[in-house]
Amino acid sequence: MNIAILFGGSSYEHEISIVSAITMKKVLKKSTLTYIFVSPNREFYLVDTDKINAKLFSSGAYKKGKQLTLKQGGFFTESMFGSKPVDFDGVLNLIHGRDGEDGKIAALMEFFNIPFISPRMEASALSYNKLYTKFLAQSLGVKTVPYEHLSKTDERKVSMEYPVIIKPVRLGSSIGVSIVKEASELEYALDVAFEFDTDVIVEPFIEGVKEYNQAGCYTNEWELSIVEEPQKEAFLDFEKKYMDFSRDSQVLAADIDDDLKIKIQDNFKKVYHPLFKGSIIRCDFFVNNGDVLLNEINPIPGSMANYLFDDFEGMVERLFKNLPKEQNITVDYQYIHSIQSAKGKA
Amino acid sequence: MNIAILFGGSSYEHEISIVSAITMKKVLKKSTLTYIFVSPNREFYLVDTDKINAKLFSSGAYKKGKQLTLKQGGFFTESMFGSKPVDFDGVLNLIHGRDGEDGKIAALMEFFNIPFISPRMEASALSYNKLYTKFLAQSLGVKTVPYEHLSKTDERKVSMEYPVIIKPVRLGSSIGVSIVKEASELEYALDVAFEFDTDVIVEPFIEGVKEYNQAGCYTNEWELSIVEEPQKEAFLDFEKKYMDFSRDSQVLAADIDDDLKIKIQDNFKKVYHPLFKGSIIRCDFFVNNGDVLLNEINPIPGSMANYLFDDFEGMVERLFKNLPKEQNITVDYQYIHSIQSAKGKA
């Protein structure tokens, strides 16, 4: 099939989206790929699949390509001879961070009636915001790490014991995140976090906590990845994550017993269904004293977590065939008609 | 100023949006109005302000008008001679229900960098869904009516005492809402609600509960409406609400003491700030045993609740001058540059 890779965007993760997008060439080998770049000022450009490389974007050379317009049913090239649709079967949303993960791209695709793989708008708005993710988990009976919420204008006070981890509620890829070992470090960490966001959550930093990642989707059945135990570091800084987003080779499954694996998978399914239908997401869990705690939902994981799946390309095709359908609303103007006949105007 | 009224949309409330939009002619008298209609299949049409009336839409005659394209910075007419922007200072989002209240229009306006009055995407996603509104209220310390949540696939069981009220979580204007007086009526009410949505909330139906509406916004200061006690009926059916949406004359303030008024206003402010900046919303409260309980947030109230304000038009202008700014993100490609120089490719 012909898959349009939508990438870039007005996001702190614009560059890692480019890395994710280029990685797709190595993992979607049987498909035809059509690359559509969203520039930092949010214009759409068609990018030649044969010539795609990171420098094309950093140099600005992409601007020489065809600019596209978004209209009902697709992306179009405009010329003196009229409007011509760009040919593809569906869009894979690979924009990390703002635009892609916050729900804007989902809203655009839904509004303009373009089939797409990505969390829908509502799922995006909830998972993009770490505070709202807590609400969601609570409503689903999924445990999370305990937390406190601080707004920019709140008193800068934390009740839980140090060390804590401070996270802006709306950003991915560890941007603005700090580990705070003692009270004296709090001010600076909050200054950094509030540079990026109006709200932060504070969580206990659990030394040596076990972390496991589970990715997957629902096509016409559950397609779950292996459970991965990510590399151990305090946390990944931006540059390390950046390199991480270009991964394309399979990793080994975590060495865990079946009980824990089933617990992790059950929690993934609870989070996913039905809100995340149509998307491939990765959930990051902590395991503490036998409890499986949802740490984060990655609505558009780096390079779509392809390296965790046996048959990533087949799964993408199956998902495109099983996208959720928007409810059809017929507008028949019956109220206007009935009011007009009451007024004698019909 | 020149205000673009965006109305219509793919929504069960398409027709009442038309009524709201036409009402704006009577209440925004000093402004120039530019009408942009979103057809049921989501195409944009410029509508002549002098000729606007309900029949233009029910007859399909609007299709003879100019079709518009949404691009960076605005709406454009396209012709052989190129692309021409439609002239206006900002958009007033008047699309009720899906598209307008769920966050799609907000996403489109943010993405294409068009100033607009409406809740932003995140605020829309939370307030459009009555279950998420409960979570939001809880996080803000705002009390709500107690509730139970049922998904389409859940066992059809209600724990609270009858009578109860059943509401689809995602629709406005009482669509799919039923009052259930006893257990035997539950099945049918749920059948109706699940016609419209995958999820419902069940709340106690409190006979004779006092209801008060508070509308407002934050410009460079709080601009709160009078508190209204809406007309008493079990609940408004669709046709009555429809007529209600064309209101343009001031109503009398509810006869309540200052204590209660301040409580209602404080709750409104808690809900509004900072999530709803840039919008004019109406919050509907119940007062039960002295408690002020948030019943619903109306992110785009009928005819913008103009009839509750002394100086609606002035407020709209002041709000346009005080819209929230999106955070500016500069993409400088420093990571791509540094990686390329590490590889010797720069």
- Name which of A228-237, A285-294, B55-64, B144-153 the model is least confident about: A228-237
Of A57, A103, A238, the CB nearest to B103: A103
pLDDT digits (tens, 9 = 90+) for A121-179: 999 999 999 999 998 998 888 999 999 999 888 899 999 999 999 999 987 667 889 99
CA angle B48, B50, B53 (to 5 degrees): 80
Q: Are A2 and A11 contacting, i.e. CB atoms less than 8 angstroms apart?
A: no
CB contact (8 A) between residue B121 and residue A126: no
pLDDT digits (tens, 9 = 90+) for A260-307: 999 999 999 999 999 999 999 999 999 998 899 999 999 999 999 999
Contact partners, residue B156, CB within 8 Å, separation at least 6: B150, B186, B187, B190
Q: Which residue is listed with tokens 């919008």?
A: B279
Nearest-CA distance B84 → chain A (Å): 14
Nearest-CA distance A43 → chain B (Å): 7
Nearest-CA distance A336 → chain B (Å): 7
Task: Give the whole-angstrom CA distance, residue A207 versus residue A194.
Answer: 25
Helix (H, G, I), strand (E, B) or coil at B222: strand
State residue B87's pLDDT score: 98
State residue A337's pLDDT score: 83
Interface mutation target, options A57, A329, A330, chain B, most CBs of B under 10 Å: A329
pTM assigned to the model: 0.93
Q: Are A223 and A318 contacting, i.e. CB atoms less than 8 angstroms apart?
A: yes
Of A69, A121, A138, the CB nearest to B71: A69
First to last CA, chain B: 50
First to last CA, chain A: 50
For B123, the enclosing helix (H) or strand (E) is helix B121-128
Choice between A69 and B234, residue whose per-residue pLDDT is larger: A69
Q: Are A8 and A14 contacting, i.e. CB atoms less than 8 angstroms apart?
A: yes
Q: Are A267 and A251 contacting, i.e. CB atoms less than 8 angstroms apart?
A: no
State residue B342's pLDDT score: 72
State residue B241's pLDDT score: 59
Angle between helices B121-128 and B130-140 (to 10 degrees): 110
CB environment B73-110: b (16+ within 10 A), e (fewer)? ebbbebeeeeeeebebebbbbbbbbbbbbbbbbbbbbb
State residue B346's pLDDT score: 42
State residue B239's pLDDT score: 60
- Name which of A91-95, A129-133, B260-264 the model is least confident about: A129-133
| pLDDT surpassing 80 at residue B318 | yes
In B86-162, DSSP assigns E strands to 90-93, 116-117, 148-151
Q: Are A4 and A91 contacting, i.e. CB atoms less than 8 angstroms apart?
A: yes
Range 70-89 of B in CB contact (< 8 A) with A: 70-72, 78, 80, 83
Say if A38 is an interface residue toward chain B (CB within 8 Å): no
Other Cβ atoms less than 10 A from the Cβ of B137: the count is: 21
Domains and their CATH numbers in chain B:
2-118 (3.40.50.20), 125-144+209-320 (3.30.470.20), 148-204 (3.30.1490.20)
Average pLDDT over residues B5-26: 95
The full DSSP string for A108-127 is HHHHTT--EES--HHHHHHH
Q: Are B343 and B61 contacting, i.e. CB atoms less than 8 angstroms apart?
A: no
- Name which of A31-35, A327-331, B297-301, B303-307 the model is least confident about: A327-331
Of A57, A149, A331, the CB nearest to B333: A57
Tokens of B308: 């509750």
Nearest-CA distance B133 → chain A (Å): 11
> Which percentage of chain A shows pLDDT scores above 70?
93
Alpha carbon of B312 to those of A3, A104, B59, B245, B261: distances in Å?
Answer: 48, 30, 32, 16, 20
| pLDDT surpassing 80 at residue A239 | no
Tokens of B53: 């009336």
- Name which of A26-30, A244-248, B41-45, B145-149 the model is least confident about: A244-248
Q: Are A77 and A65 contacting, i.e. CB atoms less than 8 angstroms apart?
A: no
Give the amino acid at B26. K
Cα B130 off chain centre by: 13
The full DSSP string for B23-45 is HHHHH--SSEEEEEEE-TT--EE
Tokens of A317: 């095709």
CB contact (8 A) between residue A331 and residue B15: yes
| Element counts in chain B: helices (H) and strands (E) | 10, 16
| pLDDT surpassing 50 at residue A346 | no
Tokens of B62: 């609007």
Cα B153 off chain centre by: 28
Interface mutation target, options B12, B194, B331, chain A, most CBs of A under 10 Å: B331
State residue A345's pLDDT score: 52
DSSP one-letter code for B170: T
> Count of residues for chain A?
346
Q: Are B279 and B299 contacting, i.e. CB atoms less than 8 angstroms apart?
A: yes
Other Cβ atoms less than 10 A from the Cβ of A64: the count is: 8
In chain B, DSSP assigns E strands to 2-8, 32-38, 44-47, 67-71, 74-79, 82-85, 90-93, 116-117, 148-151, 164-168, 178-180, 199-204, 210-218, 222-228, 281-288, 291-298
pLDDT digits (tens, 9 = 90+) for A21-73: 999 999 999 999 999 999 999 999 999 999 999 999 999 999 999 999 999 99
H helix intervals, chain A = 14-27, 54-58, 104-111, 121-128, 130-140, 186-196, 238-244, 258-272, 312-320, 334-342
Task: Give the whole-angstrom CA distance, residue B344 versus residue B346.
Answer: 6
Taking CA–CA distances from A58, the nearest residue in chain B reads B333
Task: Give the whole-angstrom CA distance, residue B202 versus residue B188.
Answer: 14
State residue A341's pLDDT score: 75
Range 275-314 of B in CB contact (< 8 A) with A: none
Task: Give the whole-angstrom CA distance, residue A229 versus residue A212.
Answer: 5
Of B136, B151, B335, the CB nearest to A239: B335
| pLDDT surpassing 80 at residue B153 | yes
Range 153-182 of B in CB contact (< 8 A) with A: none
